[in-house]
Structure 1
Amino acid sequence: MAKWDHDDLRDKSGDRFDEVRRAEPSKLTNPKDAVGMKKVGLSVLPIRVMYEVALGMLEGALKYGRHNYRVIGVRASVYYDATKRHLDDWWEGEDIDPASQLNHVTKAISSLTVLRDAMIRGNWVDDRPPRSEPGWIDGLNAKAEALIEKYPNPVPAYVQSVAASRGGEVGV
């Protein structure tokens, strides 16, 4: 598996970047900078992902009516299930949702966007199961740690190669 080497960054053509630019904090001379830097910074959002999510939201708007979830509300279990199905399909190797031709991860983020918007607005039905007792995962994590310590040299996972996932031969 490739490891990121920040001293050897290359562009899509394989050419090395000679300079990695980093924004250096500078003396604030513009009063607007001092005010603006203390507000929610949208520049941290990965714009290509946001645009893909917009496509997922557009699909929902076309199918169900734009902002329908804000008017009629949502049921948590419906959006949890949709998110989980998309993530599970992606995890099982299906990158693209056949119905929308969008990436399953994009569809999952779109589902979570609707759910979170409804939660913020107080327009959702919380039909989650009764809450588990706090710390329930700690015992399972302790057992996992014990197993990992018992087998310090595990057999590597069998994974599908990138070529195989795109129609090539299956590799190990």
Structure 2
Amino acid sequence: MSNPKQAFGDKKPPLAYIPLSAQLAELEALYDGMLKYDPHNWRDTMVEAMTYVEAAMRHLQLYKVGEELTRDTFVKNLGAVKACCSILIDAAAHGTLIDNRR
């Protein structure tokens, strides 16, 4: 007889489906932000959605024109995009997101 917890868990997608290279790029950007602003600062104070939407768009546009790394701390611009999106998701999940979208 199989473990019912395992049978239930086997139906969920594994986190390993997120490529490690993408996870590391995001982690690098989140770590850079932690050094600047304190860890999980978006859970400690309310944050505006558009702050992170605009930041994500700036990083994506910089990547679009050929800038792989951020200009100040040399983390991957795409990692910073992922970090901004994660912060938006996490702040919404923890009730600290101010939805100031138009």
| TM-score greater than 0.5 by the shorter chain | yes
Deviation digits for residues 30-79 of structure 1 (CA, Å, limit 9, x no counterpart): 53642320235212111121122111111111100011110102101110
1:53/1:122 CA distance change after superposition, 3 Å: same
**1:12-23 to 2 correspondence within 5 Å?**
none
Helix, strand or coil at the partner of 1:96: coil
1:105 matched residue in structure 2? 78
- In proportion to residue count, which structure has more helix? 2
Matched with 1:120 is: 93
Instruction: Quote the sequence identity (%).
Output: 29
Q: How does 1:9-158 map to 2 (within 5 A)?
A: 30-31=2-3, 33-129=6-102
**Which runs of 5 or more residues in structure 2 are unaligned?**
none
Root mean square deviation, CA, Å: 1.6
Larger Rg: 1
Secondary structure in 2 matching 1:39: coil
- Letter of the aligned partner of 1:67 in structure 2? H
| More contact order relative to length (CA 8 Å, sep ≥ 6) | 2
CA distance in 1 between counterparts of 2:16 and 2:61 reads 30
TM-score (norm 1): 0.54
Q: How many residues align?
A: 101
